[in-house]
Amino acid sequence: MDLELRHLRIVRAVAEAGSVTKAATHLGLAQPALTAQLKRIERVLGGALFDRDHNGARPTPLGELVLARARVLLPAARELQEEAVRFANTGGEIPQYRLGATNGPILGGLVDRLMTAWPSTPVITYSSWSARELTTMVMTGRLDFAIIGTCGESPPPVDGPVVWRTVGVDPVFVLLNEDHPLVGRQEVELAELAGQQWAATPGDGCFGDCFAAACSRAGFTPRTMYETDVATAMHLAKVGRAAVLCQATFQPAAGLGMVPIAGAPLRWRQLLGWHPDGPAAPAADVVAEHARAAHSDAVRRSGRYASWLAGNPSFGTSP
């Protein structure tokens, strides 16, 4: 006998009910039939899944392992079935756009553009600081598109069946308190910031190592790096506790000034990825065009970045 999803449903039902008898009632089966089925499942899996006595049924360590997998597999199978039905009932048209993104300038504009172009197609978003997580979700069909950033020329974080297209390449600028003596300069040398403490939003790429290498080339070792959310990083910059590394498309709030770093020693590639065999793959070229337009809009909204681009034409939105 091979293990099937219905077997996992039985194991989950026994665990949730706390007894074979109650699970049998819930499943509409006779108690002896469910007991026999459970014994067959246990033989397939190599051991007892529950300790059973007059107090009920409690998962064994093996049972806990099987339940942990079942809690992932069963919802995923149900989601797959529901999505397949929706897809079939739309005649093969995309039933929805599922977008995942790390912290960046594209997602909001892309959502707006997709909803304008296809007002009857829902757009669902998911955010994560982990580009690896988003890539895995595209590979496993849980997302249609991922919008991530990679440091410099580093590759996307996971090898697998995902097509990547570069949307734009942005320099990393620095945010400082508006009263900082370097605010207002056209550019600042990284070495001039050697005495600063630093802050940046988290990620699972090589940005931290690249920053440390850039500082080493500039002749210093960076002090404390606060890895934190955007709001906390902005607060630390406003009160003068940190220089914040940010994408050049960022629009600083009141009390902050954004300054380019001379020579652009740090850069960030904005990537759009999708599964080549996924249901949304036929729309990938159009979605990529909307993503580039959203990035271009973000560049124009950042006056400091737009003016800096005039002397640095190799950056900005990809053609």
Q: CB atoms < 10 A from the CB of 314, how many?
A: 9
> The tokens of 247 are what?
């994408």
Q: Tell me: do 311 and 242 sit in the same domain.
A: yes
> Is 149 in the same domain as 194?
yes
Same domain, 65 and 100: no
Instruction: Write the secondary structure of 197-254 as one string of H (helix), E (strand) and C (coil).
Output: CEEECCCCCCHHHHHHHHHHHCCCCCCCEEECCHHHHHHHHHCCCCEEEEECCCCCCC
How confident is the model over 135-178, as pLDDT tens digits? Answer: 999 998 899 999 999 998 888 888 788 999 999 999 999 999 99
Segments forming the whole domain that contains residue 103? 96-319
**Averaged pLDDT, 45-74:** 92
Q: CB-based contacts of 271: which residues, under 8 Å, 6+ apart?
A: 146, 147, 148, 149, 150, 156, 164, 165, 166, 167
Res 224: pLDDT: 86
The confidence score (pLDDT) of residue 162 equals 93
Q: How far is CA 155 from CA 148, 266, 295, in A?
A: 11, 15, 20
Statement to judge: residues 59 and 138 lie in one domain: no
Which pLDDT does position 178 carry in this prediction? 94
pLDDT tens-digit map of 224-233: 899 999 999 9
The winner for highest mean pLDDT among 75-84, 198-207, 285-294 is 285-294
Residue 90 reports pLDDT greater than 50:
no
Are residues 135 and 146 in contact, defined by beta-carbon separation less than 8 angstroms? Answer: yes
Q: Could you report the per-residue pLDDT of 248-302, keeping only the tens digit for each? A: 999 998 999 999 999 999 999 999 999 998 888 889 999 999 999 999 999 999 9
* CATH at residue 250: 3.40.190.290
Cα→Cα distances 277→139, 141, 280, 283, 295, Å: 10, 10, 8, 12, 26
